[in-house]
Amino acid sequence: MKRFAVIASALLFVGSLAAAMLELAPAAIDLRGPVAAHLAASGVSHPVTAVLLNYRGYDTLLEIAVLLLALLAILAVVGEPGAARPAPAHPVLQTLARLATPLMIVVAVYLLWAGAFRPGGAFQAGAVLAAAGVLLHLAGLLPGWQTPRLRLRLGLAGGFALFLAVAGGLLAQGTLLQYPPALAGGLILLIESGLTLSLALTLAGLFLFLSRDEVAP
Amino acid sequence: MTSGLLFALVGAALFALGVAGVVLIDHLLRRILAFNLMGSGAFLVLVGLAQRNGVPDPVPQAMVLTGIVVAVAATALALALTRKLHALTGRLELPEDADD
Protein backbone atom coordinates (compact mmCIF):
# COMPACT_ATOMS: atom_id res chain seq x y z
CA MET A 1 0.00 0.00 0.00
CA LYS A 2 2.77 2.39 1.02
CA ARG A 3 4.74 1.37 -2.08
CA PHE A 4 1.76 2.09 -4.33
CA ALA A 5 1.10 5.49 -2.74
CA VAL A 6 4.75 6.56 -3.01
CA ILE A 7 5.08 5.47 -6.65
CA ALA A 8 1.78 7.14 -7.58
CA SER A 9 2.73 10.43 -5.95
CA ALA A 10 6.19 10.31 -7.55
CA LEU A 11 4.62 9.83 -10.98
CA LEU A 12 2.18 12.67 -10.27
CA PHE A 13 5.10 14.87 -9.23
CA VAL A 14 7.05 14.11 -12.42
CA GLY A 15 3.99 14.74 -14.56
CA SER A 16 3.17 18.12 -13.05
CA LEU A 17 6.82 19.21 -13.02
CA ALA A 18 7.23 18.21 -16.68
CA ALA A 19 4.05 20.07 -17.62
CA ALA A 20 5.33 23.15 -15.78
CA MET A 21 8.73 22.93 -17.51
CA LEU A 22 7.15 22.65 -20.95
CA GLU A 23 5.10 25.79 -20.26
CA LEU A 24 7.93 27.71 -18.58
CA ALA A 25 8.44 31.28 -19.78
CA PRO A 26 11.99 32.51 -20.51
CA ALA A 27 13.91 33.41 -17.36
CA ALA A 28 13.23 36.93 -16.07
CA ILE A 29 16.87 37.39 -15.04
CA ASP A 30 19.58 36.51 -17.53
CA LEU A 31 23.07 36.58 -16.04
CA ARG A 32 24.92 35.60 -19.22
CA GLY A 33 25.27 39.22 -20.30
CA PRO A 34 26.74 40.57 -17.03
CA VAL A 35 29.08 37.55 -16.75
CA ALA A 36 30.44 38.14 -20.25
CA ALA A 37 30.62 41.93 -19.77
CA HIS A 38 32.83 41.74 -16.67
CA LEU A 39 34.96 38.81 -17.80
CA ALA A 40 37.89 41.08 -18.67
CA ALA A 41 38.06 42.38 -15.07
CA SER A 42 37.73 38.93 -13.46
CA GLY A 43 41.33 37.82 -14.05
CA VAL A 44 40.39 34.65 -15.96
CA SER A 45 38.88 34.14 -19.39
CA HIS A 46 36.66 31.11 -18.70
CA PRO A 47 33.20 32.15 -17.47
CA VAL A 48 32.62 29.18 -15.11
CA THR A 49 35.94 29.78 -13.33
CA ALA A 50 35.15 33.49 -13.16
CA VAL A 51 31.80 32.72 -11.50
CA LEU A 52 33.31 30.16 -9.12
CA LEU A 53 36.27 32.14 -7.86
CA ASN A 54 35.45 35.77 -8.52
CA TYR A 55 31.77 36.70 -8.81
CA ARG A 56 30.59 34.09 -6.33
CA GLY A 57 33.83 33.39 -4.49
CA TYR A 58 32.06 33.12 -1.15
CA ASP A 59 30.19 30.03 -2.40
CA THR A 60 33.48 28.32 -3.05
CA LEU A 61 34.85 29.50 0.30
CA LEU A 62 31.90 27.96 2.15
CA GLU A 63 32.04 24.84 0.00
CA ILE A 64 35.61 24.02 1.01
CA ALA A 65 34.53 24.68 4.62
CA VAL A 66 31.70 22.13 4.21
CA LEU A 67 34.16 19.56 2.85
CA LEU A 68 36.48 20.13 5.80
CA LEU A 69 33.53 19.81 8.19
CA ALA A 70 32.49 16.50 6.60
CA LEU A 71 36.04 15.19 6.97
CA LEU A 72 36.13 16.23 10.65
CA ALA A 73 32.79 14.48 11.22
CA ILE A 74 34.14 11.32 9.57
CA LEU A 75 37.24 11.44 11.73
CA ALA A 76 34.96 11.69 14.75
CA VAL A 77 32.77 8.77 13.63
CA VAL A 78 35.27 6.14 12.47
CA GLY A 79 36.66 3.94 15.17
CA GLU A 80 40.13 3.30 16.45
CA PRO A 81 42.73 2.79 13.74
CA GLY A 82 43.43 -0.88 13.19
CA ALA A 83 45.32 -2.91 10.61
CA ALA A 84 45.44 -0.40 7.80
CA ARG A 85 47.29 -1.87 4.84
CA PRO A 86 44.95 -3.69 2.43
CA ALA A 87 45.91 -7.01 0.92
CA PRO A 88 48.36 -6.44 -1.97
CA ALA A 89 46.62 -6.59 -5.32
CA HIS A 90 47.63 -8.41 -8.48
CA PRO A 91 51.12 -7.37 -9.72
CA VAL A 92 49.69 -6.17 -13.05
CA LEU A 93 47.32 -3.83 -11.23
CA GLN A 94 50.16 -2.60 -9.03
CA THR A 95 52.38 -1.87 -12.04
CA LEU A 96 49.53 -0.09 -13.82
CA ALA A 97 48.80 1.98 -10.73
CA ARG A 98 52.49 2.94 -10.47
CA LEU A 99 52.47 3.95 -14.15
CA ALA A 100 49.18 5.84 -13.96
CA THR A 101 49.97 7.90 -10.87
CA PRO A 102 52.63 10.22 -12.40
CA LEU A 103 50.36 10.74 -15.41
CA MET A 104 47.45 11.65 -13.11
CA ILE A 105 49.64 14.20 -11.33
CA VAL A 106 50.56 15.77 -14.68
CA VAL A 107 46.88 15.81 -15.72
CA ALA A 108 45.95 17.46 -12.40
CA VAL A 109 48.53 20.24 -12.87
CA TYR A 110 47.31 20.76 -16.43
CA LEU A 111 43.66 20.93 -15.30
CA LEU A 112 44.58 23.47 -12.63
CA TRP A 113 46.39 25.65 -15.16
CA ALA A 114 43.73 25.22 -17.86
CA GLY A 115 40.96 26.39 -15.50
CA ALA A 116 41.82 30.00 -16.33
CA PHE A 117 40.79 29.76 -19.96
CA ARG A 118 38.90 26.48 -20.58
CA PRO A 119 36.97 23.86 -18.58
CA GLY A 120 39.11 22.77 -15.65
CA GLY A 121 40.15 24.21 -12.32
CA ALA A 122 40.85 23.35 -8.73
CA PHE A 123 37.98 20.91 -8.18
CA GLN A 124 38.69 18.79 -11.22
CA ALA A 125 42.44 18.79 -10.48
CA GLY A 126 41.85 17.90 -6.84
CA ALA A 127 39.49 15.08 -7.82
CA VAL A 128 42.11 13.59 -10.19
CA LEU A 129 44.80 13.75 -7.49
CA ALA A 130 42.45 12.17 -4.95
CA ALA A 131 41.61 9.42 -7.46
CA ALA A 132 45.34 8.71 -7.79
CA GLY A 133 45.53 8.29 -4.01
CA VAL A 134 42.52 5.97 -3.95
CA LEU A 135 43.96 3.94 -6.86
CA LEU A 136 47.25 3.48 -4.99
CA HIS A 137 45.32 2.42 -1.90
CA LEU A 138 43.21 -0.11 -3.78
CA ALA A 139 46.34 -1.55 -5.38
CA GLY A 140 47.77 -2.09 -1.91
CA LEU A 141 50.57 0.45 -2.36
CA LEU A 142 49.29 3.14 0.01
CA PRO A 143 48.09 2.27 3.52
CA GLY A 144 44.87 3.79 4.88
CA TRP A 145 45.52 6.99 6.80
CA GLN A 146 45.85 7.01 10.56
CA THR A 147 44.84 9.91 12.78
CA PRO A 148 46.32 12.92 10.96
CA ARG A 149 49.42 14.53 12.38
CA LEU A 150 50.45 18.16 12.04
CA ARG A 151 51.65 18.02 8.42
CA LEU A 152 48.52 16.33 7.10
CA ARG A 153 46.32 18.64 9.17
CA LEU A 154 48.07 21.65 7.66
CA GLY A 155 47.53 20.20 4.18
CA LEU A 156 43.85 19.48 4.83
CA ALA A 157 43.08 22.93 6.26
CA GLY A 158 45.62 24.87 4.17
CA GLY A 159 43.39 25.62 1.18
CA PHE A 160 40.58 26.92 3.36
CA ALA A 161 43.03 28.93 5.50
CA LEU A 162 44.67 30.44 2.40
CA PHE A 163 41.28 31.35 0.90
CA LEU A 164 40.22 32.86 4.23
CA ALA A 165 43.48 34.81 4.49
CA VAL A 166 43.01 36.27 1.00
CA ALA A 167 39.38 37.13 1.84
CA GLY A 168 40.48 38.78 5.09
CA GLY A 169 43.30 40.65 3.41
CA LEU A 170 40.94 42.02 0.78
CA LEU A 171 38.35 43.00 3.40
CA ALA A 172 40.27 46.26 3.85
CA GLN A 173 38.74 47.33 0.52
CA GLY A 174 35.28 47.13 2.01
CA THR A 175 33.76 44.14 0.17
CA LEU A 176 34.36 40.47 0.86
CA LEU A 177 36.44 38.79 -1.88
CA GLN A 178 36.48 41.74 -4.26
CA TYR A 179 39.77 41.32 -6.07
CA PRO A 180 41.50 44.35 -7.60
CA PRO A 181 41.39 43.64 -11.37
CA ALA A 182 45.17 43.95 -11.73
CA LEU A 183 45.81 41.24 -9.12
CA ALA A 184 42.77 39.06 -9.81
CA GLY A 185 44.47 36.53 -12.10
CA GLY A 186 47.37 35.92 -9.71
CA LEU A 187 45.14 35.73 -6.65
CA ILE A 188 42.80 33.23 -8.33
CA LEU A 189 45.75 31.05 -9.34
CA LEU A 190 47.12 31.23 -5.78
CA ILE A 191 43.76 30.27 -4.25
CA GLU A 192 43.20 27.52 -6.81
CA SER A 193 46.64 26.00 -6.15
CA GLY A 194 45.95 25.89 -2.42
CA LEU A 195 42.45 24.53 -3.04
CA THR A 196 43.76 21.79 -5.34
CA LEU A 197 46.14 20.46 -2.69
CA SER A 198 43.60 20.63 0.13
CA LEU A 199 40.77 19.22 -1.98
CA ALA A 200 42.93 16.32 -3.12
CA LEU A 201 43.89 15.50 0.47
CA THR A 202 40.30 15.94 1.71
CA LEU A 203 38.69 13.84 -1.03
CA ALA A 204 41.35 11.14 -0.68
CA GLY A 205 40.92 11.37 3.09
CA LEU A 206 37.17 10.74 2.79
CA PHE A 207 38.18 7.33 1.38
CA LEU A 208 41.44 6.60 3.17
CA PHE A 209 40.28 7.52 6.68
CA LEU A 210 37.17 5.41 6.17
CA SER A 211 39.17 2.36 5.12
CA ARG A 212 41.77 2.60 7.89
CA ASP A 213 39.91 0.32 10.28
CA GLU A 214 39.54 -2.32 7.61
CA VAL A 215 40.73 -5.62 9.07
CA ALA A 216 42.80 -7.61 6.63
CA PRO A 217 41.16 -10.96 5.84
CA MET B 1 12.16 20.76 -27.64
CA THR B 2 15.81 21.65 -27.09
CA SER B 3 18.34 19.30 -25.53
CA GLY B 4 18.44 21.53 -22.44
CA LEU B 5 14.73 21.00 -21.82
CA LEU B 6 15.21 17.26 -22.32
CA PHE B 7 17.96 17.31 -19.66
CA ALA B 8 15.61 19.11 -17.27
CA LEU B 9 12.77 16.60 -17.87
CA VAL B 10 15.12 13.64 -17.33
CA GLY B 11 16.41 15.41 -14.21
CA ALA B 12 12.88 15.69 -12.81
CA ALA B 13 12.30 11.98 -13.45
CA LEU B 14 15.61 11.07 -11.78
CA PHE B 15 14.74 13.23 -8.79
CA ALA B 16 11.37 11.51 -8.35
CA LEU B 17 13.03 8.08 -8.72
CA GLY B 18 15.49 9.08 -6.03
CA VAL B 19 12.77 10.32 -3.67
CA ALA B 20 10.79 7.10 -4.11
CA GLY B 21 13.99 5.14 -3.45
CA VAL B 22 14.83 7.06 -0.28
CA VAL B 23 11.30 6.49 1.04
CA LEU B 24 10.84 2.85 0.00
CA ILE B 25 14.27 1.21 0.35
CA ASP B 26 15.40 0.01 3.77
CA HIS B 27 18.93 -1.04 2.88
CA LEU B 28 21.10 1.95 3.78
CA LEU B 29 23.67 1.63 0.96
CA ARG B 30 20.92 1.58 -1.64
CA ARG B 31 19.20 4.44 0.14
CA ILE B 32 22.43 6.49 -0.11
CA LEU B 33 22.54 5.66 -3.84
CA ALA B 34 18.94 6.84 -4.19
CA PHE B 35 19.86 10.03 -2.32
CA ASN B 36 22.66 10.62 -4.85
CA LEU B 37 20.21 10.02 -7.69
CA MET B 38 18.01 12.78 -6.21
CA GLY B 39 21.00 15.12 -6.20
CA SER B 40 21.95 14.29 -9.78
CA GLY B 41 18.36 14.94 -10.87
CA ALA B 42 18.36 18.35 -9.22
CA PHE B 43 21.68 19.22 -10.89
CA LEU B 44 20.35 18.17 -14.30
CA VAL B 45 17.26 20.36 -13.81
CA LEU B 46 19.45 23.34 -12.85
CA VAL B 47 21.83 23.01 -15.80
CA GLY B 48 19.18 21.93 -18.30
CA LEU B 49 16.64 24.64 -17.59
CA ALA B 50 19.35 27.32 -17.71
CA GLN B 51 20.33 26.32 -21.25
CA ARG B 52 16.91 25.46 -22.66
CA ASN B 53 17.22 28.16 -25.30
CA GLY B 54 20.48 26.68 -26.50
CA VAL B 55 23.10 28.96 -24.91
CA PRO B 56 24.73 27.62 -21.71
CA ASP B 57 24.66 29.85 -18.63
CA PRO B 58 27.89 29.74 -16.56
CA VAL B 59 26.24 30.71 -13.25
CA PRO B 60 24.13 27.53 -12.73
CA GLN B 61 27.05 25.44 -14.02
CA ALA B 62 29.28 26.88 -11.30
CA MET B 63 26.58 26.30 -8.67
CA VAL B 64 26.21 22.69 -9.79
CA LEU B 65 29.97 22.20 -9.57
CA THR B 66 29.77 23.44 -5.98
CA GLY B 67 26.78 21.19 -5.35
CA ILE B 68 28.57 18.10 -6.66
CA VAL B 69 31.41 18.59 -4.20
CA VAL B 70 29.00 19.10 -1.30
CA ALA B 71 27.07 15.97 -2.39
CA VAL B 72 30.33 13.99 -2.33
CA ALA B 73 31.01 15.22 1.20
CA ALA B 74 27.47 14.32 2.32
CA THR B 75 27.75 10.86 0.74
CA ALA B 76 31.07 10.18 2.45
CA LEU B 77 29.62 11.22 5.80
CA ALA B 78 26.57 9.00 5.23
CA LEU B 79 28.85 6.08 4.37
CA ALA B 80 30.92 6.67 7.52
CA LEU B 81 27.75 6.65 9.64
CA THR B 82 26.55 3.48 7.88
CA ARG B 83 29.87 1.77 8.56
CA LYS B 84 29.65 2.75 12.20
CA LEU B 85 26.10 1.39 12.40
CA HIS B 86 27.26 -1.84 10.78
CA ALA B 87 30.18 -2.12 13.19
CA LEU B 88 27.95 -1.50 16.22
CA THR B 89 24.86 -3.55 15.33
CA GLY B 90 25.87 -5.71 12.33
CA ARG B 91 22.83 -4.43 10.42
CA LEU B 92 22.50 -2.22 7.34
CA GLU B 93 18.92 -1.11 8.04
CA LEU B 94 17.70 1.50 10.45
CA PRO B 95 15.59 0.15 13.32
CA GLU B 96 11.84 0.35 12.66
CA ASP B 97 9.82 2.99 14.48
CA ALA B 98 7.51 1.61 17.15
CA ASP B 99 4.42 3.21 15.59
CA ASP B 100 5.24 2.23 12.01
Q: What is the pLDDT of residue A186?
A: 86
Q: Where are the domains of chain A?
A: 2-208
pLDDT tens for each residue of A194-213: 999 999 999 999 888 887 75
Would an 8 Å CB–CB cutoff place B62 in contact with chain A? yes
Would an 8 Å CB–CB cutoff place B71 in contact with chain A? no
Classify residue B19: in a domain, yes or no: yes
Residue A3's region, left for phi above 0, alpha for psi from -120 to 50, else beta, is alpha
Q: What is the pLDDT of residue B97?
A: 67
CB contact under 8 A, B12 and A14: yes
- For residue B38, what is the domain's CATH number? 1.10.287.3510
Q: What is the pLDDT of residue A217?
A: 38
Q: What is the pLDDT of residue B99?
A: 53
- Domain count for chain B: 1
Query: Average pLDDT over chain B, rounded to whole?
Result: 88
Classify residue B49: in a domain, yes or no: yes
Cα A174 from Cα A159, distance rounded (Å): 23
Residues in chain A where the model's pLDDT stays below 50: 215-217
Is residue B13 over pLDDT 90?
yes
Would an 8 Å CB–CB cutoff place B78 in contact with chain A? no
Question: Measured between CA atoms, how close is B41 to chain A, in angstroms?
Answer: 11
Cα A125 from Cα A105, distance rounded (Å): 9
Dihedral sign, Cα of residue A189, residue A190, residue A196, residue A197: positive
How many other β-carbons are positioned within 10 Å of the β-carbon of residue A123? 25
Question: Measured between CA atoms, how close is A60 to chain B, in angstroms?
Answer: 7
CB contact under 8 A, A35 and B55: no
CB contact under 8 A, B63 and A59: yes
Residues in chain A with CB shorter than 8 Å from the CB of B73 are 66-67, 69-71, 206
Name the burial class of residue B18, with classes exposed (0-12), middle (13-18) and buried (19+) by CB atoms within 10 angstroms of its CB: buried
Q: What's the domain range around B67?
A: 3-89
Q: What is the pLDDT of residue A169?
A: 85
Split at pLDDT 50, 70, 90, the class of B54 is confident
pLDDT tens for each residue of A103-138: 999 999 999 998 888 888 888 999 999 999 999 988
What is the pTM assigned to this prediction?
A: 0.84
Question: Measured between CA atoms, how close is B90 to chain A, in angstroms?
Answer: 15
Give percent of chain B above pLDDT 90. 50
Q: What is the pLDDT of residue A99?
A: 94
Specify whether the CB–CB gap between A188 and A182 falls below 8 A. Answer: no
